[in-house]
């Protein structure tokens, strides 16, 4: 499962006397208008809700609006819950993090992988769908964790790297953790979490929902997914997708939709707030264990200095700490969830969606953070290309640090953004100093400030409303 990392590197400067609601509303309405966003947003400080709104529908066809009780799939935020369940078993001395996975599944060919490697996504395991089961699974039923273990054992696909060497999330590790939970407890993953996490913490609207994409859930509070059909190039309810796109996803879901551990938990913004409070207050786990969970065990992203703990992203900038768990919507057919906690200021931002493109939920979370920190956020708007004097383009050519290194190049009278590992992207002018990207997943612009001689003295990157200065090298 590939992830894109997007995180703020600025601290909060919340002032109790300021009312942010109008600015938050303006930004969110622009996201609805431009990105067709449906979802729920909750912001809390010190455990108290300071902003909570719903946008769009939980039933697209019947036009039933979303509300505070609407239930969304949380995607890879599930990994936080799986990690906590493993740590609970460790506190009960029923396992140790140094246990090798072959202690529980001796048939697996991966003898050097430990439970901690799985928790930190440093196992090197292949992706169980794409690399192991995609062309092998022929059963007329949904695959389970037991099927995944069987195919991993039978196919013996090589590791991507030696365990502990680096971070890579393929989804396989946390699915094996779910199987270990079942093996040790004698309960299904679903029942173990219900009895040991959801019930004790009063997470009344949270549960493990296996097979929800293939077999429609009868729960009226469940937000029905509205996916972006890449073939039809428009948003459609999950049961109305084009045949080609539907067949593609049915193949994926037949293997992934009932494999627990890395996705398949559903919840509400209110329950996720209770969950975050339980982690913050050591209600579920001891302070010692909680510290290990949020420790920076492995570097995920060099440019942004994002680390991975146990089931969650963590980091520290020059003025504060953050904990982030987010799902980019890869297999979630329109669902996306971002859960961000700024630990120094005890602020939590939760964004959930049932109608989104990949990466939008965490970009919204980032923009809302900027607003709360009194940083400049530009509401989204429709970009219109204009004609400009192409001789002006030369002044913008060069290398810039965002902190990722990009290069602005000129080809045939047009500007392009060049970045390692990505195709050149045309920058279209909307003024003589501001250019926008053509992108399905983000609203992005570059803006330049020049002196009287035409030399660039400042440059800004604007991504989904967040305006950040970048450096010309």
Q: Where in the chain is the domain with CATH 2.40.128?
A: 390-472
Q: What is the structure's pLDDT at 326?
A: 66
- CATH classification code of 390-472: 2.40.128
Position 4 pLDDT exceeds 50: no
> How many helices (H) does the chain have, and how many strands (E)?
10, 23
Give the bridge partners for 48, in sequence order: 45
* Rounded Cα gap, residues 400 and 392, in angstroms: 18
Q: Where in the chain is the domain with CATH 3.40.710.10?
A: 1-376
DSSP 324-366: EEEE--SSSTT-EEEEEEETTTTEEEEEEEEE--TTHHHHHHH
* Rounded Cα gap, residues 373 and 189, in angstroms: 39
* Rounded Cα gap, residues 182 and 216, in angstroms: 25
User: pLDDT digits over 198-208, tens only?
Assistant: 999 999 999 99
Please give the model's pTM, rounded to 2 decimal places. 0.90
DSSP 404-467: SEEEEEEETTEEEEEETTS--EEEEESSSSEEEE--SS--EEEEEEE-TTS-EEEEEEEETTEE
* Rounded Cα gap, residues 330 and 345, in angstroms: 31
Average of per-residue pLDDT across 324-334? 59
Q: What is the structure's pLDDT at 16?
A: 47
Q: What is the structure's pLDDT at 403?
A: 75
SS3 content of the chain, % helix, strand, coil (to 5): 30, 25, 45
179 Cα distance to chain centroid: 23
- CATH classification code of 1-376: 3.40.710.10
* Rounded Cα gap, residues 40 and 203, in angstroms: 17
> Predicted confidence band at 306 (pLDDT cuts at 50, 70, 90)?
confident
Quote the mean pLDDT of the chain.
88
Q: Strand 72-73 to strand 64-65: parallel, antiparallel, or no bridges (unpaired)?
A: unpaired
Catalogue the long-range contacts made by 447-451 (C-beta closer than 8 Å, 24 or more residues apart): 448/395, 448/396, 450/395
Would the CA dihedral through 30, 64, 74, 197 be positive or negative?
positive
- 10 Å CB burial of residue 37 (0-12, 13-18, 19+) is buried
Would the CA dihedral through 189, 355, 382, 50 be positive or negative?
negative
Q: Taking a C-beta distance cutoff of 8 angstroms, is the pair 289, 279 a contact?
A: no
Q: Which residues touch 384 (CB under 8 Å, ≥6 apart)?
A: 430
* Rounded Cα gap, residues 74 and 436, in angstroms: 31
> Predicted confidence band at 211 (pLDDT cuts at 50, 70, 90)?
low
Q: What is the structure's pLDDT at 94?
A: 98
- Print burial letters for 206-245: b (CB count within 10 Å at least 16), e (below 16): bbbbbbbbeeeeeeeebbbbbbbbeeeeebbbbeebeeeb
Half-sphere exposure for 81 (CA within 13 Å, toward CB): 36
Q: What is the structure's pLDDT at 140?
A: 86
């Amino acid at each position: 499962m590939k992830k894109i990392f997007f995180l703020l590197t600025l601290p909060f400067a919340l002032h109790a006397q300021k009312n942010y609601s109008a600015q938050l509303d303006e930004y969110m309405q622009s996201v609805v208008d431009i990105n067709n966003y449906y979802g729920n947003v909750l912001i809390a400080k010190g455990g108290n809700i300071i902003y909570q709104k719903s946008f769009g529908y939980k039933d697209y066809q019947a036009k039933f609006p979303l509300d505070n009780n609407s239930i969304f799939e949380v995607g890879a935020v599930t990994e936080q819950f799986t990690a906590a369940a493993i740590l609970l078993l460790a506190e009960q001395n029923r396992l140790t993090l140094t246990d090798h996975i072959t202690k529980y599944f001796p048939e697996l060919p991966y003898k050097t992988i430990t439970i901690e490697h799985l928790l930190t996504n440093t196992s090197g395991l292949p992706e169980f769908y794409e690399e192991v089961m995609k062309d092998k699974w022929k059963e007329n039923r949904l695959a389970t964790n037991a099927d995944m273990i069987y195919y991993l054992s039978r196919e013996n696909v090589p590791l991507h790297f030696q365990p502990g060497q680096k971070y890579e999330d393929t989804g396989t590790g946390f699915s094996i953790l779910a199987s270990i939970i079942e093996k040790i407890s004698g309960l299904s993953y679903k029942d173990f979490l219900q009895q040991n996490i959801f019930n004790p913490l009063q997470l009344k609207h949270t549960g493990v929902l296996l097979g929800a994409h293939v077999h429609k859930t009868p729960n009226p509070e469940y937000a029905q997914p509205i996916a972006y059909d890449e073939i039809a190039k428009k948003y459609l309810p999950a049961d109305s997708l084009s045949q080609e796109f539907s067949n593609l996803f049915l193949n994926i879901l037949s293997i992934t939709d009932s494999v627990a551990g890395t996705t398949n938990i559903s919840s509400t913004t209110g329950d996720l707030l209770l969950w975050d409070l339980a982690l913050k207050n050591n209600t579920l786990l001891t302070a010692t264990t909680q510290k290990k969970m949020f420790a920076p065990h492995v570097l995920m992203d060099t440019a942004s200095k994002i680390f991975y703990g146990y089931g969650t992203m963590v980091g520290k900038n020059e003025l504060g700490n953050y904990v982030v768990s987010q799902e980019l919507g890869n297999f979630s057919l329109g669902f996306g969830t971002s859960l961000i906690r700024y630990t120094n200021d005890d602020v939590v931002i939760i964004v959930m969606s049932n109608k989104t493109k990949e990466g939008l939920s965490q970009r919204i979370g980032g923009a809302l953070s900027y607003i709360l920190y009194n940083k400049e956020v530009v509401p989204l708007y429709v970009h219109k290309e204009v004609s400009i004097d192409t001789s002006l383009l030369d002044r913008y050519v060069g290398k810039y640090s965002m902190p990722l290194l990009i290069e602005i190049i000129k080809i045939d009278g047009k500007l392009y953004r060049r970045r390692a590992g990505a195709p050149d992207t045309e920058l279209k002018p909307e003024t003589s100093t501001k250019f926008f990207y053509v992108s399905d997943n983000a609203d992005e612009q570059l803006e330049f400030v020049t002196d009287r001689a035409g030399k660039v003295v400042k440059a800004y990157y604007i991504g989904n409303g967040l305006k950040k200065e970048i450096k010309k090298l």
